[in-house]
């Protein structure tokens, strides 16, 4: 039994499996593709965020993709949920720029379909994520990603995942 639980935890963000889905784990971010720190990502890629439980569909408003760092301009595109609302996919409106850095931002106040907070920190760092702090939120973002839904109960602003496209 312990081995099965450990295998589920190791599977999160490693691509080894679906990760923990039992209720005792709470609602957590499981996977981000492309993962933070990835390089050579195709300019025609889509971005997929996977959770272990059904999400509130309105939470897509607390996900964004930026050129450069989190204070850079948002990338135009469309966010869509899977039928079971466990996977959120971003399709850019046009191909991404070659040899460019992009940052995925997930708000710290995201909620699942039952209104429970989502734990981004349990597996997010294993997906190459880092905590988004108030200091990162300056520049052109202003208050756009600093309000309710973006800021978690811990005071941080969710997680960011940075990747670089192929040149």
Q: Could you read off the pLDDT of 61-76 as tens digits, one per residue?
A: 999 999 999 989 999 9
The structure tokens listed for 114 are 């039952």
Query: 133, 105 in Cβ contact below 8 A?
Result: no
- Percent of the chain at pLDDT > 90 equals 66
Average pLDDT of the segment spanning 90-97: 98
**How far is it, in rounded angstroms, from Cα 6 to Cα 22?**
13
Q: Give the confidence band of 14 by pLDDT, cuts at 50, 70, 90.
A: low
Answer CATH for 26-164 from 3.40.50.300, 3.90.45.10, 1.10.1740.10, 2.60.40.1220: 2.60.40.1220
Q: Which pTM value belongs to this model?
A: 0.84
CA distance to 15, 72, 97, 100, 103, per residue, from 66 (Å): 24, 5, 12, 11, 5
């Amino acid at each position: 039994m312990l081995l099965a639980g450990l295998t589920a935890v190791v599977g999160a963000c490693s691509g080894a499996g679906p990760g923990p889905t039992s209720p005792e784990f709470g609602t957590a971010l499981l996977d981000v593709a492309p993962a933070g720190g990835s390089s050579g990502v195709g300019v025609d890629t889509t971005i997929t965020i996977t959770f272990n439980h059904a999400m509130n569909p309105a939470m897509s408003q607390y996900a964004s993709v930026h050129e450069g760092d989190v204070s850079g301009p948002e990338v135009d595109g469309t966010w869509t949920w899977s039928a079971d609302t466990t996977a959120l996919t971003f399709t850019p409106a046009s191909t991404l720029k070659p040899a460019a850095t992009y940052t995925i931002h997930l708000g710290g106040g995201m909620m699942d379909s039952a209104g429970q907070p989502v734990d981004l920190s349990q597996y997010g760092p294993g997906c190459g994520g880092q905590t988004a702090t108030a200091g990162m939120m300056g520049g052109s973002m202003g208050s756009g990603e600093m309000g309710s839904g973006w800021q978690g109960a811990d005071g941080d602003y969710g997680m960011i995942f940075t990747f670089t496209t192929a040149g």
